[in-house]
Structure 1
Amino acid sequence: MTPHSLNVAIIGSGLAGCLAARILREQHTVTIYERETAKAEAGAAINLGPNAVHILNSVDFDRRRACSIPVTRVLSYNKQGELTHESIHDYVQEFGTDWLFHHRVDLRDELLRLATAPSEELGLTGEPATVRFGARVVGGDVDEGRLTLEDGEVVEADLVVAADGIRSIMRGPVVNDDAYITAQPSGSSAFRFTMSREKVIELHNGEVPEIMDSSKSGTLFGVYALDPTERRVIMYPCRNYEILNFAVLAPDNMLKTPASSDSWSAPGDRDEMISLFTDFPDWVLKYFRAAENIKLWQLRMQDPLPTYIRGRTVLIGDAAHAMTPHQGQGGCQAIEDAEGFRLFLGDHVTRANVPTILEDFDRVRRPRASQIQLNTSQAMARHSAKEIYRFRKFNFTYHGIFEELRKIKESEKVGQLDHGGGEESKRESDLHSAVGICRCRQCQTDS
Structure 2
Amino acid sequence: MNEELGAAITLSINASRLLRSSIERAGFDKVKAGYVEAEKFQELHWKDLSVILEWQSSLVTERYKEPWWYFSRKDVHEELKRAALSPDGLGSIPRLVLGAHVERVDVQSHTAVLSSGERFQGDVIIGADGIRSASGNSVFGKLQTVPEGLSAYRCMIRSEKLKENPATAILVDSTKVLMLIGPNRRIVAYPCSNWNWINFVCIFPDNKDRRLQWNDTVTVQEMVETFQDFHPSIPAALSMASNTGIWQLRDRVPLQTLVKGCYAMIGDAAHAMGPHQGQGACQALEDAEALRITLKGATRCDVSARLKIYDELRVERIAKVMEYTRAMAPSTTDSREVNHTTTQTYSDYYWSYKITQDAVALMRKHGHALKVVDEVTGEVEFE
User: Distance in 1 between the 2:308 and 2:356 partners?
Assistant: 12
Matches within 5 A, 1:227-306: 227=183, 230-253=184-207, 258=208, 260-264=210-214, 266-306=216-256
State the AA in 2 paired with 1:286. Answer: A
Partner of 2:145: 183
Contact 1:73 1:220 in 2 (8 A): yes
The answer on 1:88 being equivalent to 2:67 is no
Give percent identity, aligned residues only: 31
Aligned residue type for 1:65: K
Counterpart in the other structure of 1:224: 181
Partner of 1:118: 87
Aligned counterpart for 2:290 among listed residues 340, 344, 354: 340
1:166 to 125, 131, 135: 131
Displacement of 1:268: 2.4
Q: 1:379 deviation in Å?
A: 0.8
Contact kept in structure 2, 1:188 and 1:250, CA below 8 Å = yes
1:184 positional shift? 1.9
* Residue number in structure 2 paired with 1:322: 272
Q: What is the number of residues matched between the two proteins?
A: 353
In structure 2, the partner of 1:445 is: none
TM-score, normalised by the number of residues in structure 2:
0.85
Letter in structure 1 aligned against 2:343:
I
Instruction: Say whether residues 1:131 and 2:93 are aligned partners.
Output: no
1:65 Cα deviation after fit: 0.4
Is 1:195 the counterpart of 2:160? The answer is no
Helix, strand or coil: the match of 1:365? helix
Q: Distance in 2 between matches of 1:343 and 1:54?
A: 15
Aligned amino acid, residue 192 of structure 1: R
Secondary structure, in 3 states, of the residue corresponding to 1:134? coil
Tell me by how many angstroms 1:159 deviates.
0.2
Q: Distance in 2 between matches of 1:142 and 1:210?
A: 55
For 1:344 and 1:76, how far apart are their aligned partners in 2?
A: 39
The structure 2 residue matched to 1:403, chosen from 348, 351, 358, is: 358
Distance 2:339 2:31 in 1: 34
C-alpha displacement of 1:62: 1.1
> Structure 1, residues 366-425: CA drift from partner, whole Å, max 9, x if none?
111111001101111476565233111111122124424626987xxxxxxxxxxxxxxx
* Change beyond 3 A, Cα 1:279–1:408: farther
Deviations 1:327-349 (A, max 9, x none): 000000001001112235544x1
TM-score (norm 1): 0.74
CA distance in 2, matches of 1:159, 1:58: 24
2:228 is paired with a residue whose SS is coil
Indicate yes or no: 2:337 matched with 1:372.
no
Distance change (3 Å), C-alpha of 1:267 and 1:385: farther
- Structure 2: gaps of 5 or more residues: 332-337, 366-383
Q: Please say if 1:145 is aligned against 2:110.
A: yes
Please give the secondary structure, in 2, of the residue aligned with 1:138: strand
- Partner AA of 1:280 in structure 2: F
Q: Is the 8 A contact 1:260 1:266 kept in 2?
A: no
2-structure distance, mates of 1:303, 1:339? 23
| Residue identity in the other structure for 2:109 | E
Seen in structure 2, the aligned counterparts of structure 1 residues 267 and 199 have a Cα distance that, compared at 3 Å, is farther
Q: Residues 64, 210 of structure 1: CA spacing in aligned structure 2 closer, same or farther, 3 A cutoff?
A: farther
Closer/same/farther in 2, CA of residues 172 and 78 from structure 1, 3 Å limit: same
Q: CA deviation at 1:267?
A: 4.1
Give how far 1:292 is off.
Answer: 1.8
